[in-house]
C-alpha cells in the first residue's frame, strides 16, 4: 500500500500518548508499506525533528504554519474572532491552512497513493470537500473529542469557564459528527469509543478499534528498592484533562492521604506544566513538578505506585500500559482506565471518589505483597497481549478493508 498520512505536526519529541501510539503504528506500517507523512511545521521548531521522521515514513511534506501565542492580547483576539465569525471550535479552527489543503489535493491522487489516513480530527480541517478526493480515506480517532469537551464543561469551575467550555463542546460535537461521516472508515482506540460513534452519532462507517500497545523492549520490569510512600503521575501537563486531574488530586485526595501518611510524596512528570500546575509544588511540600524529562522510566522505577486521577478524557491511556510494563502498580479512576481491558483488584486498582482513591493508595503503601501482586498482574497482561506489532496487524486489516470496498 501507498499511504498518505496526515498529521497536525511532527511526532518528535514523543511526549504525548497520541504521538507514541502514532509513532509505533507508523513505524510498523512503514516496514510493510510505503508511507508519505504530511504535516504542519510550526515556526521555531528544531530542524532535526524533520530528520527523525525518516524513522516512520519514506517521504515527508511539511507545510509552514504559525500558532497564535498563548498569551494576551493575541490569544484573546483569536478567541474572540473564533466566537464571532465561525461555528468551528477554536482548537480546530486555528489549524486551518490553505497551503496544506493544496498540498493534500496534490498528493491524494490515485497515481500517488492508495489510501489517505487522517490522524486525529485536527488535520481534517484542511481536507478538500467530500467528492474532490479520488482515494479512499480513514479517520484515526484516538479520542471522541466531543466527549473530552463535554466532561471538561461538566467539571469546569466558574461561570465564564463553564459557558465557554459548553459552547466549545457543542461546536466540536457538531463538527465531529459531520467530519467522521465524511470518511470511508473510522478507526478508534477502544470499543467504548466505537460504540459512542455508532450510537450517538449514528455512524455506519466505524470499522472498529485497535488495541493500545506498549513497547515492551523499551519499558521493562524494574527490580530493586523503590522510595517508600512515593507516587508518580505521568502526562503532558499542558493538556486540560491532565491539569484537571492533578489539581483535583491535590485539592481533594492529597489531604486524605497526608492524614495517614504525612511523609508521602508525589512527582508530576510531563512537558510544559502550566503555572497552575507548577503552583502545586509551591502549595504542597510533598509535591514535585519536573517539567519535560528525557526519559520517564527512572521516575517509574523510583515510585511505589502510579496514579491516574482523570475526571476528563477519552480514548485510552498509553501511560497506564507503559507503567504496567515496568511492574509498578497503578491506581486510576474508571475514566482514566476507560477502554482498557483491566480488572479491578487484579491488574489495577480503580477508584472514583476522593475517599476511594486515598484508600486504594493507602492499601498499596501498607502492603508490599499487594504492590507485587498488582504490579506483576499488569506486567504479565501487557507482555502477553499488547505489543505494537499485533496492534498494527489489526490496523492494517482495516486499511485493506477500506481499499477493497472503495468504488
Q: From the centroid of its chain, how far is CA 240?
A: 11
Q: Do 244 and 114 fall within a single domain?
A: no
CA distance 216 to 384: 10
Q: 140 pairs with which residues across the strands?
A: 119, 187
Domain count, the chain: 2
Q: Which residues contact 367 (CB under 8 A, 6 or more apart)?
A: none
Q: Quote the percentage of the chain above a pLDDT of 70.
A: 95
Q: 269 pairs with which residues across the strands?
A: 234, 291
Q: Do 392 and 381 fall within a single domain?
A: no
In 260-362 the beta strands, taken as DSSP E runs, fall at 265-269, 287-291, 305-308, 330-332, 349-350
- Of 47 and 268, the one with more pLDDT: 268
In a domain, 20, yes or no: yes
Give the pLDDT confidence of 366-377 residue by residue, as tens digits: 999 999 999 999
In a domain, 223, yes or no: no
Q: Do 140 and 92 fall within a single domain?
A: yes
Instruction: Look up the pTM and report it.
Output: 0.79
In a domain, 220, yes or no: no
pLDDT score, position 101: 95
CA distance 80 to 86: 10
In a domain, 221, yes or no: no
Q: Do 261 and 296 fall within a single domain?
A: yes
Q: Do 160 and 11 fall within a single domain?
A: yes
Q: Which residues contact 111 (CB under 8 A, 6 or more apart)?
A: none
Give the pLDDT confidence of 199-220 residue by residue, as tens digits: 999 999 999 999 888 988 889 8
∠56-322-148 over CA atoms, to 5°? Answer: 85
- pLDDT reading at 75 higher than 60: no
Number of residues assigned to the chain: 407
φ/ψ of 226, rounded to 5, equals -105, 155
Write the CA distances from 294 to 12, 277, 297, 300, 392, integer angstroms: 12, 20, 9, 13, 26
Most confident stretch, 86-95, 162-171, 355-364, 381-390: 355-364
In a domain, 224, yes or no: no
Q: Which domain holds residue 240?
A: 230-385
Q: Do 398 and 377 fall within a single domain?
A: no
Q: Do 131 and 252 fall within a single domain?
A: no
Average pLDDT, the chain: 91
Q: Do 379 and 392 fall within a single domain?
A: no
In a domain, 256, yes or no: yes
pLDDT score, position 85: 60
The answer to whether 243 touches 277, Cβ cutoff 8 Å, is yes
CATH of residue 318's domain is 3.40.50.2000
Q: Do 108 and 246 fall within a single domain?
A: no
Q: Quote the percentage of the chain above a pLDDT of 90.
A: 73
- pLDDT reading at 79 higher than 70: no
Amino acid at each position: 500500500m501507498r499511504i498518505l498520512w496526515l498529521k497536525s505536526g511532527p511526532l518528535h519529541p514523543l511526549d504525548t500518548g497520541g504521538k507514541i501510539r502514532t509513532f509505533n503504528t507508523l513505524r510498523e506500517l512503514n516496514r510493510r508499506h510505503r508511507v508519505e507523512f504530511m504535516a504542519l511545521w510550526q515556526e521555531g521548531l528544531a530542524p532535526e525533528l524533520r530528520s527523525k521522521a525518516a524513522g516512520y515514513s519514506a517521504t515527508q511534506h511539511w507545510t509552514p504554519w504559525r500558532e497564535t501565542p498563548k498569551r494576551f492580547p493575541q490569544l484573546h483576539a483569536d478567541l474572540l474572532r473564533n466566537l464571532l465569525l465561525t461555528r468551528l471550535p477554536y482548537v480546530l479552527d486555528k489549524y486551518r491552512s490553505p497551503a496544506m489543503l493544496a498540498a493534500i489535493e496534490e498528493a491524494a491522487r490515485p497515481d500517488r497513493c492508495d489510501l489517505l489516513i487522517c490522524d486525529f480530527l485536527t488535520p481534517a480541517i484542511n481536507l478538500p470537500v467530500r467528492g474532490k478526493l479520488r482515494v479512499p480515506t480513514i479517520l484515526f480517532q484516538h479520542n471522541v473529542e466531543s466527549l473530552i469537551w463535554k466532561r471538561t464543561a461538566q467539571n469546569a469551575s466558574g461561570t465564564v469557564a463553564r459557558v465557554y467550555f459548553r459552547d466549545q463542546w457543542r461546536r466540536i460535537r457538531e463538527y465531529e459528527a459531520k467530519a467522521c461521516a465524511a470518511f470511508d472508515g473510522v478507526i478508534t482506540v477502544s470499543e467504548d469509543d466505537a460504540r459512542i460513534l455508532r450510537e450517538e452519532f449514528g455512524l455506519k462507517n466505524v470499522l472498529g478499534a485497535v488495541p493500545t500497545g506498549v513497547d515492551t523492549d523499551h519499558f521493562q520490569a524494574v527490580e530493586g528498592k523503590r522510595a517508600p510512600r512515593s507516587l508518580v503521575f505521568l502526562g503532558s501537563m499542558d493538556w486540560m484533562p491532565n491539569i484537571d486531574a492533578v489539581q483535583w488530586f491535590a485539592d481533594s485526595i492529597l489531604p486524605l492521604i497526608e492524614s495517614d501518611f504525612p511523609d508521602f510524596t508525589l512527582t508530576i512528570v510531563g512537558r510544559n506544566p502550566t503555572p497552575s500546575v507548577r503552583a502545586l509544588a509551591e502549595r504542597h511540600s510533598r509535591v514535585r513538578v519536573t517539567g519535560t524529562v528525557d526519559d520517564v522510566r527512572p521516575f517509574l522505577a523510583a515510585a511505589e505506585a502510579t496514579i491516574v486521577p482523570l475526571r476528563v478524557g477519552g480514548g485510552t491511556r498509553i501511560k497506564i500500559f507503559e507503567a504496567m510494563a515496568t511492574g509498578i502498580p497503578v491506581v486510576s479512576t474508571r475514566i482514566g482506565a476507560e477502554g482498557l481491558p483491566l480488572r479491578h483488584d487484579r491488574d489495577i486498582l480503580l477508584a472514583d471518589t476522593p475517599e476511594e482513591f486515598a484508600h486504594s493508595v493507602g492499601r498499596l503503601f501498607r502492603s508490599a505483597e499487594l504492590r507485587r501482586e498488582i504490579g506483576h498482574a499488569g506486567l504479565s497482561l501487557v507482555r502477553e497481549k499488547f505489543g505494537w506489532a499485533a496492534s498494527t496487524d489489526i490496523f492494517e486489516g482495516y486499511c485493506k478493508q477500506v481499499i477493497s470496498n472503495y468504488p
